[in-house]
Structure 1
Amino acid sequence: MKKLYAVIGDPIGHSMSPVMHNDLFSYYQIDGHYMPFLVKAEQLEDAVRGLKAIGIGGFNVTVPHKSGIIPFLDGVDELAADIGAVNTVVNEDGKLIGYNTDGPGFLQGLMNELPSIEGKNILVIGAGGAARAIYFTLAKERAVEIDIANRTVSKAESLIDDCPYQSSSIALSLEDAGKNMEKYDLIVQTTMIGMAPKTMECPLDLSVIKHQALVCDIIYNPLQTKFLQEAEHKGARIQNGIEMFVYQGALAFEKWTGIFPDVKRMRNMVLKQLGGSTC
């Protein structure tokens, strides 16, 4: 009998995780199947109880349940607890344990372009859930100069105050950050600004960006946002959100199966679904 795996969220029809993970189960000859489940907020506790009852192998959690699911789990690992969000759940001997692979997934994808973050000046744009996961992970990895820019500065300040890991961080408005972009070696855009269908929007001004800085945008639809286009035009290196998506999925797959999968295969599968190049 196939072991069941899943992703839960609302909405869920857009998720590319089922295609990606089912391809991996087939590739590694694992008798498993991954399914999407639409779960409303008021159904979350019942859904978790049901998944546990049927002996699910593990599942992913997407918006809006990453924080709300925590009280319904048997345990949460340290990083996920600090972030206050879970995106991966593992059935460990009948207990559902929550993890967060978003931040570590971003970091692993980042290492392909920037092998070390030591001594780098970093700017994170946004103060939502993705920013929190990435900021906490970078701070835990001893990246000590990490500023946060957000439309509402008080939210950036709260994010800095919440971080349990030591770093030197300043909360900035988007306008003030745009005036000092030449300071940063790594810029990470975590908001939904520039996502389809509003693809002509850009979170801040890149006119004074440092040459050869690395600019990351966690959006992958479109594959190259206006923000990344402008950064590349100014001489920066760029990375879109596919790397984070693929690596967070790879880390989840590893937690479920003990196998760290072929990320190139995963990347090509995602690009194929998005209609982009697989070269």
Structure 2
Amino acid sequence: MKKLFGLIGCPVHHSMSPLMHNDAFKQIGVAAYYHAFHVEKEHLQDAVQGMKALGIAGFNVTIPHKTTIIPLLDDIDETALQIGAVNTVVNENGRLIGYNTDGEGFVRALCEELNIELTGKHILLIGAGGAARGIYFSLASRKAACIDLCNRTVDKAKELINERKIPVLSRAYSLDEAQQLLGNYDIIINTTSVGMYPNVEEMPLSLTNLKKGTIVSDIIYNPLETMLLKEAKRCGAITQNGVGMFVYQGALAFEKWTGIFPDTNRMKQIVIEQLGGKRHVNR
């Protein structure tokens, strides 16, 4: 009998996780199947209980459940607790254990795809939501010189900085303030959904003051090249889209479920082909 894995979120119809994981199971010869489950907010508790009752071996968690699922699980990994969000759950002998692979997935993709070290870098995160939490925490462990946050609501950025208590210099700015300071940063990361399909003409902030050679990364992967990345490339930046983060967070989850780290190049190709484009890492 095949082991069952899955994804819970709202919505999930657009997710490429089933294609990516089912291919990986096939490649390593594991009898397993991955299915996406649409779960409304008000049904989350029932869904989690159902996952346990059905003996589902593990599942991913996406918007809007990454934070609200925490009290419904039997145990939370220390990193996920510090981040304050869960995106991966492992069923360990009937106990549901929550993990977070988002932040580490992003950092692995950033460092490996662009062949960089983060030590001493000045970094700006755009956004202060769930994705920003994981990335912020994971970046801090790489000895960056500073990790500043800008957000439409400055208080939310301040709250994230105060909550995480990360031992690295961090300041909170409004979007307008951050636009004036862009020249101070080596790496700028958009963690918001601004520019995601179908609102592909939108940008989270203006890049007028961006300096040439800055790395601009966008966690969005649909479209493969957001308006932010197009504009950054015109300004002479090094750009990276969100395919790598999506793949690596999935690969790290897969490893937690199976003990095997999958072929990330193959995973990337599946995602790119599904999106009908070429992988975009511009140097």
TM-score range, shorter chain: over 0.9
Task: Provide the rounded CA distance (Å) in 2 between the counterparts of 1:42 and 1:197.
Answer: 27
SS of structure 2 residue aligned to 1:35 = strand
Match of 1:163 in 2: 164
Alignment of 1:1-279 (within 5 A): 1-112=1-112, 113-277=114-278
C-alpha spacing 1:17/1:186, structure 2 compared with 1 (3 Å): same
What letter matches 2:56 in structure 1? I
User: How high is the TM-score relative to the length of structure 1?
Assistant: 0.97
Rounded Cα–Cα distance in structure 1 between residues aligned with 2:88 and 2:44: 15
1:272–1:278: 8 Å Cα contact kept in structure 2?
Answer: no
Q: For 1:87 and 1:245, how far apart are their aligned partners in 2?
A: 12
Q: Is the 8 A contact 2:125 2:148 kept in 1?
A: yes
CA contact (8 A) 1:5 1:56 kept: yes
Q: Distance in 2 between matches of 1:160 and 1:35?
A: 35
Report deviation, 1:200. Answer: 1.1
> Per-residue deviation at 1:207?
1.9
Runs of 4+ off more than 4 Å? none
- Whether the aligned pair in 2 keeps the contact of 1:144 and 1:166 (CA below 8 Å) is no
Name stretches of at least 5 consecutive residues in structure 1 with no aligned partner.
none
Deviations 1:131-153 (A, max 9, x none): 11111111233324011011111
**In the TM superposition, what whole-angstrom CA distance separates every residue of 1:40-86 from its partner, at most 9, and x where no partner exists?**
22221121111112221100011111111111111001111111110
1:114-137 Cα deviation digits (max 9, x unpaired): 431000000000111111111111
Amino acid at match of 1:191: T
Any conservation in 1 of the 2:196–2:223 contact (CA below 8 Å)? yes
Q: Distance in 1 between matches of 2:76 and 2:94?
A: 14
Describe the SS at the equivalent of 1:71.
helix
Given the superposition, is the C-alpha separation of residues 11 and 85 from structure 1 closer, same or farther in structure 2, using an over 3 Å criterion?
A: same
SS at the partner of 1:98? strand
Q: Retained in 2: the 8 A contact 1:59–1:88?
A: yes
Paired with 1:70 and 1:17, the residues of 2 have a C-alpha distance of 21
> Aligned-residue CA RMSD in angstroms?
1.3
Larger deviation, residues 38-47 vs 258-267: 38-47
Q: Give the 3-state SS of the residue equivalent to 1:15 in structure 2.
A: coil
Aligned sequence identity (%)? 56
Counterpart residue identity of residue 103, structure 1? G
Q: Distance in 2 between matches of 1:204 and 1:43?
A: 36
The amino acid across from 2:252 in the alignment is L
Query: CA offsets per residue over residues 165-207 of structure 1, 9 Å max, x none?
Result: 2110111111111111111001000111111111111111212
User: Contact 2:76–2:98 at 8 Å: present in 1 too?
Assistant: yes
Q: Would the aligned equivalents of 1:242 and 1:267 in 2 still touch at CA under 8 Å?
A: yes
Q: Which amino acid aligns with 2:34?
A: Y
Report the Cα offset of residue 277 of structure 1. Answer: 2.6
Unaligned runs of 5+ in 2: none
| In 2: Cα distance, 1:211 partner to 1:55 partner | 52
Structure 1 CA distance for aligned equivalents of residues 130 and 230 of structure 2:
25
